[in-house]
Structure 1
Amino acid sequence: MEMALVTGVSKGLGYEISKLLIEQGIEVIGLSRNTNERLQNLITQSEGRFSHYPVDLINVEEIEAIIKEVSKQIVERKPQKLYVINNAGMVEPIERLGYLDNSAIQRAVQLNLLAPMLMNNTLLKELRDEELEVIIVNVTSGAAERPIHGWSVYNATKAAINMHTKVAGLEQERIDSAHRIVAFSPGIMDTEMQGTIRGAEKEAFIELDKFQDFKTSGALRQPVQVAKALVDLVLNKRLINGHVYDVNELI
């Protein structure tokens, strides 16, 4: 039996990943701040293979407690393999340095960087004595690799997640662990995040026209297509610890 823990499951990529994993017979524990009709339907239709914990991962004080609770559920179920998909994230604030709101910077760093780092650390600590393979996927972005005007916070958090992944993967290799820790860059998708980007102010984000054209030209992939690539990667490929996988190399 296999299980998965997925964050940001109420919409977009997180929802589609959860749905696909359930269809593969994997029990999924979903974390998200909100619930909605689609999520409720998924719970009902999963026949017990999907459970949901409401949690706001921006409030990092909540993370250790919720992950310890989830870990107890995992230990009780005794899966042979656990997939962890750190998908929750935010592109905001989109603004130039010197115009940013400090509290917005803090929220983004907490969700994009601190939340997955705390989750990964707590999970490996709580499951240290269990005989199971843990596969952690940190969802990153191409923004980790190139500077984008107005995205100093998002760029920085995703670059940090990439380095967290590389170091954590190195550590697992050093002890010849069965665990795998990788990152996955999903590319540009037709999600609410892209809507937020298109709603930015031109002065704050000089690439606005380019991102608006992604929508009008049909360049945005659907989340289900990207989810299929990620699920196929973790279920069917031999993962390289610390590697950053790009969806464009998988589709």
Structure 2
Amino acid sequence: MSSLVWISGASAGIGAALVAAVPYADARVIDVSRRGGGPAEHLKADLSDPADWARVERHFQEELAGYDGDRVVFIHNAGTITPIGPAAGVDGAEYTRAVLLNSAAPQVLGRAFLQATAGLTCERHLVMLSSGAARTAYAGWSSYNAGKAAVEHWVRTVGAEQETRDGCRVIAVAPGVVDTAMQTEIRATSEQDFPTVGRFHQLKETGALSTPAEAAAGIWSLLERELPNGACIDLRNL
């Protein structure tokens, strides 16, 4: 079977681990990110820039026009925790970038993928990375909290729009607390900007963080499960 896989933000962390763990031996894998540098093909794109969203959409359309393979997958992993701090006090340009990347890009790119795959009859999967922050209001994370909540409700809605048998499988997955550069950034934040920072120090000190490889394995395993379309899954609850 032939597979075409896109993973956004695959140059580091969970994204890089997802590339390393692709379970399809014949897969063509494309990293959509600013930096690239891993073993996957690289489509250079700054996903906080709406101009680059249009470029990614055209890329989807070009690659999938007449596609006759067996499977297409898009895992949207890119996101940012920056800036951390009260909404009234953080840098405006950084905050705007975070809103675009965390809230708008998943919806715009997800829609583009769905449209580009709409005429295909092969197996299709759209996976959006979420977080426990979608349901818990952490002071200091307003753009991140809101972005992940938006992702989950978008997935529920778009999942309901898919044909029961022939539509794209659309799910969101929260991987838990994973030992990535994002966690390092969180722990480096002052309690004034992020009052709950002590909890994240404790998780690190007690060895409670999962590895990117563990998160990637859990995410890939979901594609083999009989999940309802529009499901929002937390790997810690499986």
- Contact kept in structure 2, 1:68 and 1:123, CA below 8 Å: no
2:148 aligned to 135, 149, 158, which one?
A: 158
Distance in 2 (CA, whole Å) between partners of 1:240 and 1:26 is 25
- Post-superposition shift, 1:146? 1.0
Within 5 A, what are the aligned runs for 1:189-208?
A: 189-208=178-197
Contact 1:75–1:130 (8 Å) recurs in 2: no
SS at match of 1:28: strand
Deviations, residues 100-119 of structure 1 (Å, cap 9, x unaligned):
22222211111112111111
Structure 2 residue identity aligned to 1:223? P
Residue 75 of structure 1: CA displacement? 3.2
What do residues 24-71 of structure 1 show as CA deviations (whole Å, max 9, x unaligned)?
4322111111133xx1xx2xxxxxxx4211111111211122231233
Which moved further from structure 2: 127-136 or 154-163?
127-136
Q: Which amino acid in structure 1 is aligned with residue 119 of structure 2?
A: D
Aligned to 1:210: 199
Q: Give the corresponding residue for 2:54.
A: 64
Kindly indicate whether residue 228 of structure 2 is the aligned counterpart of residue 249 of structure 1: no
Alignment match, 1:129:
119
Cα offset, 1:163, TM superposition: 0.5
Q: 2:177 aligns with which of 188, 194, 200?
A: 188
Deviation, structure 1 residue 121: 1.1
Q: Distance in 1 between matches of 2:152 and 2:146?
A: 10
Distance in 1 (alpha carbons) for counterparts of 2:25 and 2:226 = 18
**CA separation in 2, counterparts of 1:23 and 1:10?**
19
- Give deviations 1:176-228, integer Å, cap 9, x for gaps: 54311110001101100001101112101111111112112211111001100
Quick one: distance in 1 between partners of 2:227 and 2:54? 27
Match of 1:107 in 2: 97
Local SS of the residue matching 1:3: strand
Normalising to structure 1: TM-score of the pair? Answer: 0.89
Separation (CA, whole Å) in 1 of partners of 2:88 and 2:233 = 33
Offset at residue 8 of structure 1 (A): 0.5
**How much does 1:130 deviate?**
2.8
Matched residue, 1:83:
73
The Cα RMSD (Å) is 1.7
8 Å contact kept, 2:179–2:209: yes
Q: Is the 8 A contact 2:74 2:113 kept in 1?
A: no
What are the ranges of 5 or more consecutive residues in structure 2 without an aligned counterpart? none
Of Structure 1 and Structure 2, the greater helix share is in 1
Question: For residues 4 and 239 of structure 1, do their structure 2 counterparts lie closer, same or farther at Cα, with a shift above 3 Å needed?
Answer: farther
C-alpha contact (below 8 Å) 2:23/2:220 kept by paired residues: no
SS at 2:162 equivalent: helix
Distance 1:126 1:221 in 2: 34
How many aligned residue pairs are there?
A: 237
Aligned residue runs from structure 1 range 13-24, under 5 A = 13-21=14-22, 24=25
TM-score under structure 2 length normalisation: 0.93
Q: Give the conservation status (yes or no) of the 8 Å contact 2:83–2:90.
A: yes
Deviations 1:101-146 (A, max 9, x none): 2222211111112111111111222332233332111100000101
